[in-house]
Amino acid sequence: MKQDNRINTGNPLRVIFFAGKGGVGKSSIAGATGILSAESGNRTLIMSMDIAHSLSDIFDVKKDGIVDFNRGAPFQVADNLWIQELDISEEIEKNWGEIYRYISTLFNATGLDEVLAEELAILPGMEEVSLLLYLNRYSKDKRFDVIVLDCAPTGESIRFISIPTTLEWYIKKVFRIEKTIARYARPIAKRVYDIELPGDKYFDTIEFLFQRLRGVDELLTDTDITSVRLVTNPEKIVLKETQRAFMYFNLFRMNVDAIIVNRIIPPSIKDRYFNDWRITQKEQLKSAEECFSPVPLFQVDLMKNEVLGYKNLRQLGKKIYRDKNPLDVFFKGTPYELRKENGIYCMSINLPFVKKGELNLNRVHDELIVRVGGTKRHFLLPRHLAGIDSITARFEGEKLCIYFGGGQNDKE
């Protein structure tokens, strides 16, 4: 296989996320899409967002070829096609050095074994931030034309897409105060406690990480570049989780351009054993069409065997997209918009499947906090909205419409 180390291809970037419940076939479909993209002449990278990486297994690559030799770097599996599974140990050295060392020392000082302290110092979110750093870098150096992301199960995927806004909130609201307090309190704390407060290098590392993430939020929410494709199965429980994922991606302003319903029992199977399954799947497919319309549904029959290796993945890709270009944007919605009508500002957020009792709204100074279940999103309000006291909200169809009164001194 010919190695190609060119950097800039000149093609516009395309980013596609494959998300959904664990076990629905996300990795296989991400791999299949990547193969079709590469065969069209696009330099394509498939990245694994899951801690339990399986891309190398799906492509039938020896694991030591990625872990021992590439250390989490992109690994070429075919012409124009690379896969990447992050190595958290390598990422700690590259991106988290000072933060990791301080937290590890902190745990060790409490009496924990040194090895255990080092393990506990690998905090949730470190791998996700590292992956965002790669995504942002690849978008700028134009090394790849297409980046396909094989997401972790739904909950971890939501944490991943919430990181840019969470970090932005932390840097703007908390970081400077923390850094200043630590600087003045450090000499006093040294006399009182055995554990030192974090030093300037610790805070500099956090700030540098944030600087390197600048622009990634715009990348994720650009509908011309980035799409989310939700992978599901025609089962009630799986479809319910797909509905929740659809709502959460809308909350974070990411465009879902397709729903891929995988593992449908094909009509060629006549065995009576599958009769009930066939009836159930037919009902759930109808329900999915009603729930997600006008987002297109791609129906994929259950394959005859486990989907492993380039040839089988390519065959799966052809079954999914048929005569369509997998890199097309199949649907564009508007998850979030701000408009002005008759002197009143309205912020509308697309929140399908959410009931009134599941939603909680709060405003703190120039922030609007929208909480749905256990997930919350901070919206930093423009200055001209931050001073408006009169705020009302109601559902209009599947949209949450938040109205900011026209007068600066309105009370309600």
pLDDT, one tens digit per residue, over 64-98 is 544 444 678 899 999 999 999 888 777 777 777 77
Q: What is the pLDDT of residue 194?
A: 67
Topology classification of domain 8-330: Rossmann fold (3.40.50)
pLDDT tens digits, residue range 134-189? Answer: 999 999 999 999 999 999 888 788 888 888 888 888 888 888 888 888 888 888 87
pLDDT of 123: 66
Nearest to 263 by CA among 285, 243, 248: 285
| pLDDT 10s digits, 197-253 | 888 888 888 888 889 889 999 999 999 999 999 999 999 999 999 998 998 898 888
Query: CA-CA-CA-CA torsion for 180, 182, 187, 192, nearest 10 degrees?
Result: 140
User: Is the omega angle on the peptide bond into residue 352 within 30 degrees of 0, that is, cis?
Assistant: no
Instruction: Calculate the average pLDDT of the chain.
Output: 85
Q: Would the pLDDT of 408 be above 60?
A: no
The neighbour count for residue 277, using CB atoms within 10 Å, is: 15
CATH number of 336-404: 2.60.40.790
More confident residue, 308 or 125: 308
Structure tokens at 290: 């009603």
Task: Using the structure block, give the residue that is written with the tokens 């465009």.
Answer: 255
> Residue 1: its pLDDT value, please?
46
99-103, 135-139, 366-370, 372-376: segment of lowest average pLDDT: 99-103
Say whether 378 sits in a helix, a strand or coil.
strand
Q: And the tokens for 405?
A: 């009164």
Q: Tell me the per-residue pLDDT of 317-329, one tens digit each, with 9 for 90 and over.
A: 999 999 999 999 9
Residue 74 and residue 137: Cα distance in Å, rounded?
13
Which residues share a beta bridge with 404? 345, 391
Domain ranges in the chain are 8-330, 336-404
pLDDT in the model for residue 48: 92
| Cα(221)–Cα(223) distance, integer angstroms | 6
Identity of the residue numbered 55: L
Residue 136: its pLDDT value, please? 93
Round to whole Å and give the CA distance between 301 and 359.
Answer: 37
Global pTM exceeds 0.75 = yes
Tell me which H or E stretch contains 399.
strand 399-404
Instruction: Provide the token pair at 245.
Output: 């994922």
Sequence-separated (6 or more) residues with CB below 8 Å from residue 262? 24, 25, 29, 231, 232, 233, 300
Spatial neighbors of 342 by CB under 8 A, at least 6 apart, are: 406
Q: Is the distance from CB of 9 to CB of 142 less than 8 angstroms? A: yes
